[in-house]
Chain A
Amino acid sequence: MKIKNQLKQIRKSYLAIEPPSDFKKYGWLALRKEIEVSERRRFTLFPVFTHNVVFTMIIIFLLAGTSIGLVKASQGSLPGDTLYPLKRLSETVVIAISGDKQVRVEKRAEDVVGVAEHKNDLPILKKTVEEYQKAVSETKREVEKSGKKEEFQDQLKKQEEKLRTVSKHTPASEDLLIEAIEAAKRGREDDVKDNVKGIEHQKNPSEIKQEIEKSGKIEEIIK
């Protein structure tokens, strides 16, 4: 007889194998109890060690870890770098939370200095300077409303000094850095005009003298 036919004969016996009747009757109930006990144990001892929760936690930790790591890494990036858009995004979040609009100008000034010092790329520097100019003019308007004008002017003054220092040892970037310096100056310019206006409105001593003489109260004042 062929081996396959012999196996067919044995198959009849194989198919006749039945689980014991008690097992057929109570097998599932016993297993269900075992499943429930194991689930309770897992919830009681290690509440987080359940399939879905574990997966969710792992994913959250991985995402959070990766995001924090990336955001941290992006802080040192410069315009033109892969992580730079992330730096800008985190900056927007910081500004939205803190309400400190001057952060933007500070960061753009740092960008200009960073690109001029570490990147020999004039097109990127040009774009960065334009960003700085834009940030200065936008922040200036916002700062005037919030009454932090003086603080902003101090900030711009420091930036101007820093940009001037950098321009001295990066001759290739000098022209573009001068544009940035001009932007910082313009940011403080209104203030200068205001002062000039103030001076214009202040009367000089001869004018005061003439007014007093006109009023005829000179003798009263001398007395």
Chain B
Amino acid sequence: MQSGSLKRLIIRAKGGDKDAFGEIYNLFLKQIFRYIYFSTRNYELAQDLTQNTFFKAWRALPSISVYRGSFKAFLFTIARNLVIDWSRSKKELPLETIENFPSFEDPQEDLIRKEARVVVLQALSRLEEDEKQLITLRFFEEFEYGEIAKVVGKKEGTVRVTTHRILKKLKNYIKYKYEN
């Protein structure tokens, strides 16, 4: 569910108020951008897909209900679909792109932890795009399973089971990596 002020903005935007939509844009810009960037690792592409997400959202506004569902889930559904479309046409990301992530540097982080993080990132990059999206939504965006279900269009139970299966897959990859 959305807060009262967001609901008011959505109602105004639905009525064609572009300024209200501008406020919504600025409210979600960072979240949508980082979600897309995490998959694409390309600033320009992430900007294009972010703009496209909001453009599509504006066009779809008349058909959405303010009282049912969450606007955040609606935006992430559009962004997820765009990322999945893009991933179908892309080549595999080069290893250094994966390893160079993140931009955030923790000075306390020791070498072993750093290495472990790179291995997990590599493991993530080997997942199918929709699997990666699920992990991103659950563990990075901290969506509830119910919210993820709305974004991916599946039942909550299915999302829970799939998430556990993906985590197991990641564990197996990491284990394999350390053993070899």
Q: Are A and B bound to each other?
A: yes
Binding site for B on A (CB under 8 A): 1, 3-4, 6-20, 23-24, 27-28, 30-32, 34-36, 38, 51-52
- Are B34 and A31 in touch, CB under 8 angstroms? no
Main secondary structure on A side of the interface with B: helix
B113 interfacial by beta-carbon distance below 8 Å: yes
A20 CB to nearest chain B CB (Å): 6
Please pick, from A8, A19, A20, the residue contacting B139 in the complex, using a CB distance under 8 A.
A8
Answer yes or no: B38 CB below 8 A from chain A CBs: yes
Q: Are B62 and A19 in contact (CB under 8 A)?
A: no
- Write out the residue numbers on chain A whose beta carbons fall within 8 Å of the beta carbon of B140: 7, 10-11, 14-15
Q: Answer yes or no: B174 CB below 8 A from chain A CBs.
A: yes
Judging by beta carbons under 8 Å apart, are A24 and B29 in contact?
Answer: yes
Chain B residues within 8 Å of A, Cβ to Cβ: 18, 22, 25-26, 29-30, 33-34, 37-38, 43, 46-47, 50-51, 54-55, 58-59, 62-63, 101-104, 106, 113, 116-117, 120-121, 124, 135-136, 139-140, 167, 170-171, 174
Q: Which residue of B lies closest to A30 (CB)?
A: B51
Residues of B within 8 A of A52 (CB): 62
Contacts across chains A and B counted by CB atoms under 8 Å: 97
New A-B pairs, 6, CB < 8 Å, besides A7-B135, A10-B117, A13-B101: A1-B113, A4-B139, A11-B140, A18-B33, A24-B30, A28-B29
Contacting A27 at CB < 8 Å: which of B18, B43, B50, B139? B50
Most chain B CB neighbours (cut-off 10 Å) among A1, A10, A16, A24: A10
Shortest CB-to-CB span from B64 to chain A, Å, is 12
| Cross-chain contact A19 with B170 (CB below 8 angstroms) | no
Q: A7-B120, A31-B55 are in contact. Are A19 and B104 (CB under 8 A)?
A: no
- B89 to chain A: closest CB distance in Å? 23
CB distance from B163 to the nearest CB of A (A): 11
User: Which residues of A sit under 8 angstroms from B50, Cβ to Cβ?
Assistant: 19, 23, 27
CB pair B43–A20 under 8 Å, yes or no, is yes
B22 proximity list for chain A (CB < 8 A): 28, 32
For the complex, give the distance between the alpha carbons of A19 and B33 in Å.
Answer: 6
Question: Are the CB atoms of A14 and B47 closer together than 8 Å?
Answer: no
Residues of chain B lying within 8 A (CB to CB) of residue A12: 102, 104, 106
Q: Are A16 and B102 in contact (CB under 8 A)?
A: yes
Q: Which of B26, B37, B58, B117 contacts A35 (CB 8 A)?
A: B58
A102 to B37, CA, bound (A): 77
Distance in angstroms between the alpha carbons of A15 and B174 in the assembled complex = 23
A70 CA to B1 CA, complexed, in Å: 44
- Min Cβ gap B111→A in Å is 14
Report yes or no: B38 in contact with A14, Cβ–Cβ below 8 A.
Answer: yes
State the Cβ distance, B35 to closest chain A Cβ, in Å.
9
Q: Cβ of B167 and Cβ of A4 under 8 Å apart? A: yes
**Contact across chains for B104 and A13 when beta carbons are under 8 A apart:** yes
Decide if B29 touches A1 in the complex (CB within 8 Å): no
Contact of A32 among B18, B34, B113, B116 (CB under 8 A): B18
A35-B55 in contact given A1-B116, A18-B30, A27-B25 (Cβ < 8 Å): yes
Q: List 23 A-B contacts (CB under 8 A).
A: A1-B113, A1-B116, A3-B170, A3-B174, A6-B116, A9-B113, A12-B102, A13-B102, A14-B102, A14-B140, A16-B102, A17-B38, A19-B47, A20-B43, A27-B29, A27-B47, A27-B50, A28-B22, A31-B25, A32-B22, A35-B18, A35-B55, A38-B55
